[in-house]
């Protein structure tokens, strides 16, 4: 079997683009993947097209070899644009390889360690009451047992720090009162706090409401600062969406700087690389809760990963049954009682609606995310 073509589709999903990738073979098998939205998305598409020339006429089942060829060939090492491109192409190789064997991908990863995948969704609102109402609506609609929210009041960068410490906890208090104690609530600070001591103050203020984790309280580049914060916090510290490959995650684990890691399969290097990252984490007693704000193919890949990964915890989820997202695959993902089913069809087990991918052309999104009507971010 040989690769004959690789094509990318940069599709506007409202708030950010989704980059879908298709790899074709001379035996008629087609594989699908998805790249992360790094903002210069046309740069990712151009890199995919550049890498295509390296892979034409190669056997798509040699995943490890082709990954190394791309990663080492881009050199220095590749950053977000290069790794988004590599990750998306790597996804397509798994899809093709599993289809060639007539197996779902998770069976190629060692088989199931669970029979359904727990997911959570972010809740939003400009007031504690509206945030609590949104949480109740999501639980009623999808049956979630986990949610995620901001630890800040609206526009925290315009508030005095004491106001943030006072008003931020009112939001999680309202949500906790509304949903009860049997729902896990994660907090996502979006790395907006620079001083570890401030992050610790905010974590302490949130602790009475028993958060499931505190995600990226500070920027992830300073691993020693993250390790210091993790030793001081009484809430599990989560990080990883901005880290790439086993090399950066190994450094994070060596520093004992996280309780939960959140690699993104669309930029960390792909499915095989995320499995290696999870293995490193397992050796350090760390759980994996993948970052997943992208499209339905990314969700499919994460579901197969989660099905076969022992130290998986919970998967971030964005509904695919609403708006234009519902058009990208024939059967959009819909949680049942807060869980996703594991596909049993060959490959990713999904059918891509290719005509919809060209229906919504690329949009240039800049710093300062578009906002939803309730004031919440359109992309996380």
- Residues with a catalytic annotation lie at 188, 190, 215, 241, 264, 291
55: enclosing H helix or E strand: helix 41-55
Place of tokens 């891509």: 352
Neighbouring-strand partners of residue 193: 218
Helix locations, the chain, DSSP H: 41-55, 63-74, 80-101, 105-108, 128-142, 161-179, 196-206, 223-232, 245-254, 271-282, 296-308, 354-357
d(CA 53, CA 286): 39
97: enclosing H helix or E strand: helix 80-101
Q: Could you say which DSSP state residue 172 is in? A: H
Structural contact between residues 70 and 35, judged by C-beta atoms closer than 8 angstroms: no
* Token reading at 20: 């879908």
Give one DSSP letter per residue of 296-330, joined into a string. Answer: HHHHHHHHHHHHH-TTB--EE---SSSGGGGGSBS
């Amino acid at each position: 079997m040989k690769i004959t073509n690789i094509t990318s589709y940069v599709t506007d999903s409202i708030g950010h683009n989704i980059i879908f990738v298709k790899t074709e073979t001379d035996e008629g098998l087609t594989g699908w993947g998805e790249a992360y939205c790094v903002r210069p998305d046309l740069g990712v598409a151009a890199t995919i097209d550049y890498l295509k020339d390296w892979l034409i006429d190669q056997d798509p089942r040699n995943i490890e070899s082709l990954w190394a060829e791309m990663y080492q060939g881009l050199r220095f090492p590749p950053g977000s644009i290069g790794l988004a491109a590599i990750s998306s192409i790597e996804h397509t190789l798994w899809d093709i390889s599993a289809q060639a064997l007539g197996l779902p991908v998770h069976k190629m990863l060692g088989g199931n360690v669970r029979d359904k995948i727990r997911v959570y969704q972010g809740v939003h609102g400009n007031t504690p009451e509206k945030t609590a109402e949104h949480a109740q609506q999501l639980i009623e609609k999808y049956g979630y047992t986990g949610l995620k929210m901001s630890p800040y009041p609206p526009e925290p960068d315009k508030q005095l720090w004491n106001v943030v410490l006072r008003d931020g906890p009112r939001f999680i208090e309202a949500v906790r009162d509304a949903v009860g104690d049997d729902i896990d609530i994660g907090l996502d600070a979006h790395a907006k706090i620079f001083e570890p001591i401030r992050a610790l103050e905010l974590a302490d203020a949130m602790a009475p409401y028993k958060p499931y984790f505190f995600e990226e309280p500070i920027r992830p580049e300073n691993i020693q600062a993250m390790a210091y914060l993790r030793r001081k916090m009484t809430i599990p510290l989560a990080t990883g969406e901005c880290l790439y490959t086993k090399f950066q995650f190994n450094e994070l684990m060596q520093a004992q700087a996280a309780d939960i890691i959140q690699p993104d399969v669309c930029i960390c290097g792909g499915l095989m690389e995320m499995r290696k990252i999870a293995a490193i984490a397992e050796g350090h007693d760390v759980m994996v809760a993948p970052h997943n704000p992208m499209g339905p193919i990314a969700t499919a890949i994460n579901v197969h990963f989660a099905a076969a990964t022992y130290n998986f915890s919970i998967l971030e989820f964005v509904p695919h049954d609403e708006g234009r997202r519902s058009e990208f695959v024939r059967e959009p993902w819909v949680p049942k009682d807060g869980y996703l089913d594991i596909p049993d069809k060959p490959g990713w087990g999904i059918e891509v609606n290719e005509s919809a991918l060209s229906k919504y052309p690329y949009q240039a999104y800049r710093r300062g995310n578009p906002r939803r009507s309730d004031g919440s971010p359109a992309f996380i």
